[in-house]
Amino acid sequence: MVKGTKAINNREDYLDVRDIIARVERLENAHIGDCALDGVALADCPDEEEHAEFVTLVALLGELAGYGGDEQWRGDWYPLTLVRDTYFEKFAQEEAEGLDLVKSDARWPANHIDWEAAAAELQQDYSSVEFDGETYWYR
């Protein structure tokens, strides 16, 4: 088990690309990725679960590479934050509150806003990526 970074999974509402990059680098330093690079059978890997995580994270970063953002790594730019699809409506509400468009403690009109429709409109400015069977949104 590689120590020093938390395993990345698709159950989080938010994923920080910097955490994904740090995890990939940590797994690389532990030679978890060598199995894939050297063509060694998966059964010969020191930790099959971490190997699978490594392959999945490298694929995710490959899909995000070059789509812009605020994080540069190995010559490409990446978005900082990925938002899980099932959390996007709550994310839209948090964004509106964070921009002071709606007061977080306001009952009216905040309790009458169609956050599903607001989230759908906000999503038009985002792109999606699949990560281990889950959709995440980024900008």
pLDDT digits (tens, 9 = 90+) for 102-120: 877 777 877 788 999 999 9
Domain boundary among 81, 103, 129: 81
Host domain of residue 95: 82-138
Query: Are 60 and 71 found together in one domain?
Result: yes
Q: What is the pTM of this model?
A: 0.84
Q: How far apart are CA 139 and CA 135, in angstroms?
A: 14
Query: Are 23 and 64 found together in one domain?
Result: yes
Structural domains counted in the chain: 2
Domain boundary among 81, 103, 125: 81
The residue-averaged pLDDT of 27-31 equals: 82
Ranges of beta strands (E only) in 6-138 are 14-16, 71-73, 76-78, 81-84, 127-131, 134-138
Q: What is the pLDDT, as a whole number, of residue 130?
A: 97
Query: Are 102 and 76 found together in one domain?
Result: no
Query: Are 74 and 88 found together in one domain?
Result: no
**pLDDT single digits (tens) 31-86:** 765 665 445 454 556 677 888 899 999 999 999 998 889 999 999 999 999 999 99
